[in-house]
Amino acid sequence: MTPHRGRALAGALAALLVLAPVGVAAAQPDDSPDARPAVPAPARSAGGDTADTVAETVAEVSPEAPAPAGGPVTDRIIVKFAEGAEPGAQAREQVYDAAAERAADRPGGRGPGLPGTAAAVPDLQELRPTVDSARVVTAGQVLDAGRLDALVAELEEDPAVEYAEPDHLVRIASVPDDPYFPTAQWSLHRTAAGLGLPDVWGSATGRGQTIAVVDTGITRHPDLDANVLPGYDFVSLHGGVVQSGHSRDGDGWDPDPRDEGDYGGAGECASGGTAVRSSWHGTHTAGIAAARANNRTGVAGVAYDAKILPVRAIGACGEGYLSDIAVATAWAVGADVPPTARNRNPATVVNLSLGFVSSVCPAVLQDAVDSATARGAVVVAAAGNRNHDAVQESPANCRGVISVASSTASGSRAPYSNWGRVTLAAPGGDGPAQILSTANNGVTTPGTGGYANKFGTSMASPAVAGVVALVRETDPSLTPAQVRNLLVATARPLPGGCPGGCGAGLVNPQEAVSRVAVQGGYPTKGAIGALYERIRVATGAPRSPEVCGLPQGGCFQHFARGAIYWSPATGAQWVHGAVQGAWNRGGDVRGPLGYPRTGEQDNGAGGVHQLFRHGRIVWSPATGAAALYGAIGARHASTGGERGVLGHPLGDERAGSTGVAHQSFQHGRILWSAATGAHSLHGAIGRAHAGLGGESGRLGLPVSQEYAVGDSVVQRFQGGAIAYRAGGTSVSYR
C-alpha cells in the first residue's frame, strides 16, 4: 500500500541568504554562515527615498549556506484536526498539552531550553488558522530538530489529529554572485540558450493575465508600477526580538505588500553572524516575469503586459514561515483566507521562487497548491540551488507544480541548479552571465528604484511564469495540467547538456504559443483519434498534439474539456472534470492508480466512478472526487462500495507517522496497517472506538470486520473487542 501523505520530515534546513563583497573573483559556494560582510551605512541619494529616480546597480551575493544540521529549526507546528472530529478550543488545548508532555518523555524530546528560553516542555498556543482549516501552533521557543520531531510525532498519535508538521522557515532561492554582469538581457534573445521572445511578442505579451509573486514583497519602480495590482502582506511574525522571518513593519497581516527589506542585523539571522543586506528579491523576480516594455525605461519582462500581484510572505533574513507562504498562495488565487478580504484580482499564474529541503511536500503547502490548481491557476516553483535531486526540495516536489531548473548563457544546466525530478529548465544565469532585472538601491530599507544582476533558479522560475502568461493569453481555457503538458511537449534539449536531467529540456515559448494559436487544428490519430470521433461532443476540440513516451508505452492528447489517455494494456479512455483532477492529484499515470481502463460510469449511489488499472475514482456532488485503491479500496468494495454502509469517500487515503493509513467516508472510516490489514469502522462500534482513543487507545487497530454473535454484533481489535446489542455497547480488553 502506498499512502498519499505521510508526516513531513522535521529536520528540513532553513538556509540564509548570504551576501558577498564587491570584487569576489569567482562564483564559488561559501558554506560558512559567518563569512558575511558587515552592512555599510546606507547611502543617501540627492533624489530622496522614492522610486522616481532610477539608477543601475549590481547586487553581488554568493550562494546560500544551509543552517547547521541539528540546530534550531522552527518555533511553530501546523496541526489539522480530522474533519468531523475537531474538538472545541479547550479540548484542543488538552491535545496540545498532552502531546507536549509525552514528547518530553521521548529520547531527545526533553532538553535544555535554547538561549533565552527556560521551559523544557513547550507551552503550545494556537496563533491562527491557515489553509484548509489547519491551525498554526507556536511552541513559544525555537525547537531543535530532535524536540520538534518528538512533538510532531506525539501530535500525530492523537486520533483527532489528521496531520501535524513543522512550520518550516522557507527561504528565497536566488544565488546572487560577483560583479560580472551582462549589458543586455541575453536570456530573452534569439540564441541557442535564449528564449527567442522577440519572435513571440508579436502574438502574445501576457495581456489579461495576472502573475502572483509570492516573495519578499515589492518596492516602487518605474519599470513595474504600471503593472502592479493591490497585493497583501502575510508575514505574521512582527512582535518581540527581530529574528528570521520578522516582518519589520510593526504589524502582522495587512494589505500593504511593500518590501520592508529582508536584511538582517548582526546576530539576527544566525547566532554570532554578521549583518546581511536586503536582496529586493520580490522586485527582481517580478521584473523578470512582467517588467513593462516599450516605455523607454530599463528592462522588458517575459510577459510585459501581464499584471503583477505582489504577495509578501518572506521577511527578515530572506526567510518566511511555511504557513504564511501557503496562505499567501491560497489568497493569491482567490481562496477565502479569513479575516482578510477576498482577493479581487485572482492570479492565473503563481510564482514561488523559494524553497527548503524536505523529502515530501508538506501537507499544508500541497493543500495550497491544490487550491490554486483547482481554481485554474498554474503554480511555478524554483527547483532550488543545492545541486541535488529536486525531489528533495519543496515546493518543487509538490504535486501539480511546474518545477524549473536553471540554465546558463552557454545553454547548459547551471552548476548550482537542482536537477532530476524537474519539469523543465529556463535561463537563470551564472557568475559570468547573470539575469538583469528590476531592483532597489537601498542597502537595508527601500531606496530608489534600480537594476541588479542575480542568478539562480529564482530567476529561472519567473521566466517560466511569464511564458505561462503568454500561453494563457493565447488560450485562457487551458487547464493547469494542459499548460504543463504543452510546455513539456514543446521544450527543446539544452544545447549545453544537463547532467542529472532537466525534465523536458529548455522552455520554448515560441513553439508553445504557436501550437496553442492553432486553436483546435491539432490532428488526431490511431486509437485516441477513433475515440475522439465517437465522443467529440463531450471532449471539444484538440488542444495539443498527441504526446507519447509515457510509462508502459502510453500516449495522451489534451482536448478542450479533458484528455484521452492510451496504453497497450488499457486502450484509449477519456478522463475529465473532477475525476481527472483527483487523478492528477495522485500523480496521473505515474501514481498508484495507473491508466484509466473505462470511462465514467453511474455508481448507483447518486454519483459516478471511473475504473483505473489499480483502483478507481469516485465522485458525488456532496463529497467531490477521491481515489480508492489497494487494501483500503478492496475493503470499501467488500462493504458494498458507495451503496454500502460507508458511502462515498470524503477525501484521499492519508497516512500517519506510525505506518497506519486511513480513509474517511460519509459514514465511517477504514484503517490499515501491515500487521492488521484493512478493516472498516462505522456506526455505534465505530463511535465507541473513537471515544476510547481510537487506534491510539488501548484497543488499537481493528483486526476483524463486524460479525454476529447471537443477538449481538462484535468487532475485534488488537487490544480487545467491542460488542453492540439493543442500543448499547460493551467493551472487553485482552
DSSP per position, 488-556? HHH-B--TTB-TT-BTT-B--HHHHHHHHHTSS-----HHHHHHHHHHHHHH-SB-S--EEEEGGGEEE
Give the pairing of strands 319-321 and 169-172. Answer: antiparallel
CB 304 within 8 A of CB 198: no
Residue 256 CA, chain-centre distance (Å), reads: 24
DSSP per position, 676-732? TEEEEEEHHHHHHHHHTTGGGSSS-SB-S--EEETTEEEEEETTEEEEEETTEEEEE
Residue 5: what residue type?
R
User: Which residue in 62, 187, 236, 458 is the catalytic one?
Assistant: 458
Cell digits of residue 304:
510585459
Cell digits of residue 227:
503593472
359 is catalytic: no
Helix axes 457-474, 480-490, angle to 10 degrees: 110
SS3 for 19? Answer: strand
Distance CA 435, CA 404 (A): 15
Cell digits of residue 714:
462484535
For residue 70, the tally of other CB atoms under 10 A from its CB is 10
Those residues with Cβ within 8 angstroms of residue 637's Cβ, 6 or more apart along the chain or in another chain: 628
With the C-alpha atoms ordered 363, 366, 368, 370, is the resulting torsion angle positive or negative? negative
SS3 for 734? Answer: coil
DSSP per position, 625-684? EEEEEHHHHHHHHHTTGGGSSS-SBSS--EE-TTS-EEEEETTEEEEEETTTEEEEEEHH
Residue 455 CA, chain-centre distance (Å), reads: 22
SS3 for 65? Answer: strand
- Helix-, strand-, coil-residue percentages of the chain, each rounded to 5: 25, 30, 50
Residue carrying C-alpha cell 552557454: 410
Give the pairing of strands 661-665 and 402-407. Answer: unpaired
Distance CA 518, CA 401 (A): 26
CB 82 within 8 A of CB 99: no
SS3 for 161? Answer: strand
User: Which residue in 221, 246, 281, 682 is the catalytic one?
Assistant: 281
Show the CA angle centred on residue 27, arms to residues 23 and 31, nearest 5°.
Answer: 105
Nearest CA-CA partner of 398 in 427, 356, 426, 457: 356
215 is catalytic: yes
Nearest CA-CA partner of 311 in 395, 209, 219, 231: 231
Cell digits of residue 101:
508532555
Residue carrying C-alpha cell 487551458: 478
Distance CA 378, CA 389 (A): 23
236 is catalytic: no
Distance CA 264, CA 270 (A): 9
Q: What DSSP state is assigned to residue 294?
A: S
Helix axes 363-374, 480-490, angle to 10 degrees: 90
User: Which residue in 132, 158, 215, 370 is the catalytic one?
Assistant: 215
Distance CA 665, CA 685 (A): 15
Which residues are designated catalytic?
215, 281, 458
